[in-house]
Amino acid sequence: MSKPHWRPANASDLPAISMIAARIHSDLPERLEVFAEKMRLYPEGCRVLAADDGIVGYGLAHPWMQHRIPPLDGLLAQLPGDADCLYLHDVAVLPDFRGGVARDYVVAIEQLARASGIATLALVSVYATRPLWERLGFRPVTADAELRAKLASYGNSATYMLRHLIAT
């Protein structure tokens, strides 16, 4: 069995993405068109983890504004013209294939941000993933009332986090 690898996602991967999302995020369901729209608006940020037998994970990211988050299961309509971060909407990998792969995806997104002149990565940590994201350089940010209200749709443990990229 060869090692699973990240590759750009395409529209034919959508059913697999949707199935993995439903399995891993059963408490935070999102419609297939929400994934499809991200892929259409910003294919550069959408990747799948390809194993011998098919897709075993995905990562979705797109340009956005710091301290703002799209509502869960909501359409973006369009990307902001004055984006100041790449927002990691989600990374999800089937349990048997975890270990080092989130780091690889974040490295790819970091390179994409740098190449696009964007100096910050953002995400909402859910479940108990905050230590994992801290390990990858993200720091929790105090949310204002508007951000707190939006975070509520992501569950109780949702934490908004930023990672400022150091100039290289």
Stretch that binds ligand COA, among 9-17, 39-47, 73-81, 122-130 (CB under 6 A): 122-130
**Alpha carbons 152 and 69: distance in angstroms, whole number:** 11
Taking the complex as a whole, the smallest distance from the CB of residue 103 to ligand COA amounts, in Å, to 4
Taking the complex as a whole, the smallest distance from the CB of residue 38 to ligand COA amounts, in Å, to 15
Taking the complex as a whole, the smallest distance from the CB of residue 133 to ligand COA amounts, in Å, to 7
User: Residue from 47, 90, 121, 159 that binds ligand COA (CB under 6 A)?
Assistant: 90
Size of the site for ligand COA (CB under 6 A): 20
How many CB atoms within 10 Å of residue 147?
16
Taking the complex as a whole, the smallest distance from the CB of residue 154 to ligand COA amounts, in Å, to 9
* Using rule CB under 6 A, residue 121 touches ligand COA: no
Within 13 Å of residue 132, how many CA atoms lie on the same side as its CB?
15
Direct distance between the N- and C-terminal alpha carbons of the chain, in angstroms, rounded to an integer: 36
**109/123 with CB nearer ligand COA:** 123
Mask of contacts with ligand COA, 2-41, x by CB under 6 A? Answer: ----------------------x-----------------
Taking the complex as a whole, the smallest distance from the CB of residue 6 to ligand COA amounts, in Å, to 11
Within 13 Å of residue 37, how many CA atoms lie on the same side as its CB?
14
Which are the contacts of 133, defined by CB distance < 8 A and separation ≥ 6? Answer: 123, 125, 161
Contact 38, 21 (CB under 8 A): no
**Alpha carbons 138 and 87: distance in angstroms, whole number:** 12
* Using rule CB under 6 A, residue 122 touches ligand COA: no
- Positive or negative, the CA dihedral 126, 12, 104, 117 is negative
Judged by the rule CB under 6 A, the positions of this chain that interact with ligand COA are 24, 90-93, 98-103, 123, 125-127, 129, 131-132, 135-136
